Amino acid sequence: MVFCCADLLCSCWCSLAVIALIAAVWFFRDSRQISGIHEKHVLITGCDSGFGNLVARQLDRQGFLVIAVCLTETGASKLRATASPRLKTLQLNVTDSTSIDRALEYVRRETGGKGLWGLVNNAGVSVPIGPMDWMQLHDFKKVLDVNLTGVIAVTLKFLPLLKKAQGRVVNVASMLGRLSIIGGGYCLSKFGVEAFSDSLRRDMVHFGVKVSIIEPGFFKTQVTDLGLIEDDLKKRWSNLPEQVRRDYGDSYLQEYLKVQEFSMRMLASSDLSKVSSCMRHALSARHPRTRYAAGWDAKFLWIPLSYLPTCVVDIFTNALVPSPKPL
């Protein structure tokens, strides 16, 4: 019995030593940085505010040659005022092919034949969201055009420059690209970003281009602006056919709005650096990760939940939203 206990104790210590060694090797590998940052160009979309704005300023301070893409000149001028003279801004609408072509020519001139080290596809919208039968086809297209088709269009145009530099593609998906818990085009678009990124990563590995996916939880940005979401839901409710409103009941809208407000207040973090630090690692680490979970809710709630059986997920998600009370 004594020998058995001693053997068991020895086995435990050996197992802990192996785990510690693996963790140390992983940490060392994960912490190694690339060289020549001051010569590398990075293009970031959606820099008017939020994650894009923050990571553009952080990468600029780190020494990267940042080309920050904004939708508006107002957003571009505000960003320039807070960054170094190295940072360049560019107006671009990711849904406009002509605008993308102009951006490509600009980046070609800026990079001077070196190629593009990094592309961060960050631009995105969320509204409209809501029950599926509150939507029209154009509502889905509105979100998909920016969040998915725009990501694909920009990436395909800049791939030759990325292959030349053997650079990085960083696509911002969401934990809602793993769990579809709200209606509308947002979850559809983020599931699509996940699939596109996986296919792109496997194809580009032959050319030295690495692809990473960022999966944020809930954060306080323009995409999760509660005012915009509530205004759209109220307008949508007022325009619904009478029968659809009767199907849901008079109190449904107010209950749904309360759930939205509760979710944002309880889950949404104001620390956007949790996402920007993932973007920076994907661009500056020698061995970037395939996926980055950002935010406590993504790491400890949504992503673990996505691995559970569908019936369990359905029970949980159905508890989050109100049930219709037909008249």
Tell me: the pLDDT tens digits for 206-227?
A: 999 999 999 999 998 888 888 8
What pLDDT sits at residue 319?
A: 85
Q: How confident is the model at residue 7 (pLDDT cuts 50, 70, 90)?
A: low
What pLDDT sits at residue 313?
A: 92
Is residue 148 within 8 Å of residue 200, measured between CB atoms? no
Q: What is the CATH number of the domain that holds 217?
A: 3.40.50.720
Number of domains composing the chain = 1
Return d(Cα 235, Cα 159) in angstroms, integer.
40
What pLDDT sits at residue 32?
A: 84
- pLDDT score of 19 more than 90: no
- Tell me if 307 is assigned to some domain: yes
- pLDDT score of 148 more than 80: yes
What pLDDT sits at residue 80?
A: 95
Return d(Cα 323, Cα 327) in angstroms, integer.
13
Return d(Cα 157, Cα 207) in angstroms, integer.
16
- Tell me if 62 is assigned to some domain: yes
Please compute the mean of the pLDDT values over residues 1-12 and round it to a whole number. Answer: 64
Please, which contacts does 236-239 make with residues 24 or more away whose CB atoms are closer than 8 Å? 236/128, 236/130, 236/134, 237/134
- Tell me if 29 is assigned to some domain: no
- Tell me if 195 is assigned to some domain: yes
What pLDDT sits at residue 6?
A: 67
What is the pLDDT of the chain when averaged over all its residues?
92
Percentage of the chain surpassing pLDDT 70? 96
Q: How confident is the model at residue 26 (pLDDT cuts 50, 70, 90)?
A: low
Burial label for 293, CB within 10 Å (0-12, 13-18, 19+), is buried
- pLDDT score of 133 more than 60: yes
pTM recorded for the entire structure: 0.90
Known active-site residue 186: yes
- Tell me if 202 is assigned to some domain: yes
Which alpha helices (DSSP H) does the chain contain, by range?
2-31, 50-62, 73-81, 97-111, 137-144, 150-165, 185-204, 226-238, 242-248, 252-267, 273-284, 296-297, 303-306, 310-320
- pLDDT score of 2 more than 60: no
Return the C-alpha torsion angle 173, 53, 69, 80, nearest 10.
-170
Domain holding 232, by residue range, is 36-320
- pLDDT score of 9 more than 80: no
- Tell me if 16 is assigned to some domain: no
The catalytic residue among 106, 186, 248, 292 is 186
- Tell me if 28 is assigned to some domain: no
What pLDDT sits at residue 4?
A: 62
Per-residue pLDDT reduced to its tens digit, 271-286: 999 999 999 999 999 9
Per-residue pLDDT reduced to its tens digit, 79-89: 999 999 999 99
What pLDDT sits at residue 311?
A: 93
- pLDDT score of 95 more than 80: yes
